[in-house]
Structure 1
Amino acid sequence: MFFSSKPRNIFDPPTPFERIVSSPLTFLVTSIYELFQSLRPAPSPHSPPIRVVCISDTHTLTYDIPNGDLLIHAGDLANAGTTSEIQNQLDWLSSLPHPQKVAIAGNHDTYLDPRSRMTLDEKDRTDILDWHGIIYLQHSSITLNFPERQNRQLKIYGAPQIPKCGGSQFAFQYNRGQDAWSDTVPPNLDILITHTPPKYHCDLAAALGCEWLLKEVWRVKPKLHVCGHIHAGAGREVLWWDQSQGAYESLRARSKKGLLLSMIDPEFWLEAAALLLLGLRGIVWTRIWGGEQRSTTLVNAALMYNNTGKLGNQVQVVLI
């Protein structure tokens, strides 16, 4: 059978053929944007660099984690979200050699949200977690010192909320389209940790990330943004905060009108032309002329490979 009658999970990655058939303009725009991104140089790290090891979505499992100065877990330690599941993951994280460790919650970490916690059995509502010195951020920030890196400091903010994707047993959910982000992230930030990705970036073609988070990251522009949640979006991307990126995001929003309406929308084609010209200008400016531009390294650190129940994605290590 060429097509399956089984309904697709929206979190499953579509094949290239399915992406083309479902939205050829989205496929075209995304392919052009990804090509331009691949031709721009990666941001240069500070000297001496701090080695940040980024993981997420381990879902009760353990993995071989490379060493570094800072370990970040961007949520979904658990599956059912019980204290025993979370504690087992904390015990594993505490055994790793990284001198600094920071974690946030994900939607599967039920116990950590007082609202979803009420769906657990009484024992799992009253147990106490031992964090073993792991710094837990929940709409909060911390400044970490790295004396072995010439006393450098990193200001880090973490927040777990995601657009709703399940029932009341899932933690930190808000209705999709609701603004749960504006003016919540502090300025002058080095690292932002969220469970959801921003919309259109380290995301699926269905755009399951949050548009309000995207606007907030445009405002704050941290050096590094670590997320997870969308397993199939695992990887990294450099956000350049320029007109080219703005044109891409606007085109992604327009292409949701459907093929026919987008094809006859003159503003779509004007923005498509702008994406081409601005993307080429960005490549010339950064790679040929050596120009500098503010950027954010976005990492989707999900280790769960798609929805297989097995860890298999690459651990993301970033030097900042």
Structure 2
Amino acid sequence: MIIPFKNHKIFAFSDTHGMHSQLRIPSEADILICAGDGVEGIEEQELSDFLNWYAAQPAQLRIFVAGNHELLFDLCPEDAQLLIPKGVTLLEDFGIKYDNIHFYSITARPWLHHKQEIPSNIDFLITHGPAKGVLDEGTGCSLLKDVIAKYKPRNHVFGHIHSCGSQMIICPNTVHYNVSYFESLL
């Protein structure tokens, strides 16, 4: 899904589940966001292959947020971080600023397990899972909903719920994007 923002074309996606070679990234995209589940299994080699493919995609910035299928980030986080190639920025419970755009991620794969605080000037909050009540098929995270209500990020990019992929909802303070591509790649 292309998201125009501050003179950039941001392409955000998630849930390719090993079918990433079928994903067509628009040539005008200069920032890429992967909101997790690039892989299907738990093999280190599968994750490495996906991340190397991602690093090879043309863009000025490539952000990666792990999903629930990137289990290595939960089981062996140090080993998983060693797989991140040059040119890919892993965001996990922190943020970066790029060309005056503030990106931040909290680990909701797919749910938060405790209250979290984030900065209040976020342009893009990136999580794998959705907030409760937003393109979530009734399974979203209430703690994430509270974070978004309190800190009001301008945009929330997420996936996980395949049936709501490639949809957006504009709320008073935040635009929510479910960027799951799973169903469109089948």
TM range (shorter): 0.7 to 0.9
Aligned pair 1:188/2:121, yes or no? yes
> 1:126 deviation in Å?
8.4
SS in 1 for 2:185: coil
Alignment deviations for residues 202-254 of structure 1 (CA, whole Å, 9 cap, x no partner): 111xx1011111111011111211001111121111111xxxxxxxxxxxxxx
What CA distance in whole angstroms lies between the structure 2 residues aligned with 1:74 and 1:127? Answer: 16
Q: Percent identity?
A: 29
SS in 2 for 1:72: strand
What CA distance in whole angstroms lies between the structure 1 residues aligned with 2:69 and 2:18? Answer: 10
Counterpart contact for 1:91–1:132, Cα < 8 Å = no
**Bigger CA radius of gyration:** 1
Counterpart contact for 1:78–1:85, Cα < 8 Å = yes
Aligned amino acid, residue 160 of structure 1: T
> Where do 1:141-220 residues align within 5 Å?
141-145=95-99, 153-162=100-109, 178=113, 180=114, 182-204=115-137, 207-220=138-151
Counterpart contact for 1:224–1:298, Cα < 8 Å = yes
Aligned amino acid, residue 138 of structure 1: E
Aligned pair 1:138/2:70, yes or no? no
The runs of 5 or more residues in structure 2 that have no matched partner are none
> 1:197 deviation in Å?
0.5
Counterpart contact for 1:61–1:89, Cα < 8 Å = no
Partner of 1:40: none
Residue correspondences, number: 178
Aligned amino acid, residue 236 of structure 1: M
Aligned pair 1:223/2:177, yes or no? no
Aligned amino acid, residue 191 of structure 1: F
Partner of 1:236: 168
Aligned pair 1:50/2:8, yes or no? yes
CA change 1:98–1:214 in 2 (3 A) is same
Aligned pair 1:79/2:26, yes or no? no
What CA distance in whole angstroms lies between the structure 2 residues aligned with 1:82 and 1:186? Answer: 34
CA change 1:187–1:127 in 2 (3 A) is closer
CA change 1:198–1:92 in 2 (3 A) is same
What CA distance in whole angstroms lies between the structure 2 residues aligned with 1:225 and 1:302? Answer: 13
CA change 1:100–1:159 in 2 (3 A) is same
> 1:127 deviation in Å?
9.6
Aligned pair 1:311/2:185, yes or no? yes
What CA distance in whole angstroms lies between the structure 2 residues aligned with 1:126 and 1:302? Answer: 22
Counterpart contact for 2:94–2:104, Cα < 8 Å = yes
Partner of 2:174: 296
CA change 1:213–1:127 in 2 (3 A) is closer
Counterpart contact for 1:90–1:132, Cα < 8 Å = no
The runs of 5 or more residues in structure 1 that have no matched partner are 1-44, 119-124, 146-152, 164-172, 241-294, 313-320
Q: Which has the higher strand share?
A: 2
> 1:100 deviation in Å?
0.8
Partner of 1:254: none
> 1:138 deviation in Å?
0.9
TM-score normalised according to structure 1 size:
0.52
Partner of 1:65: 25
Aligned amino acid, residue 297 of structure 1: V
What CA distance in whole angstroms lies between the structure 1 residues aligned with 2:149 and 2:158? Answer: 16
Partner of 2:71: 110
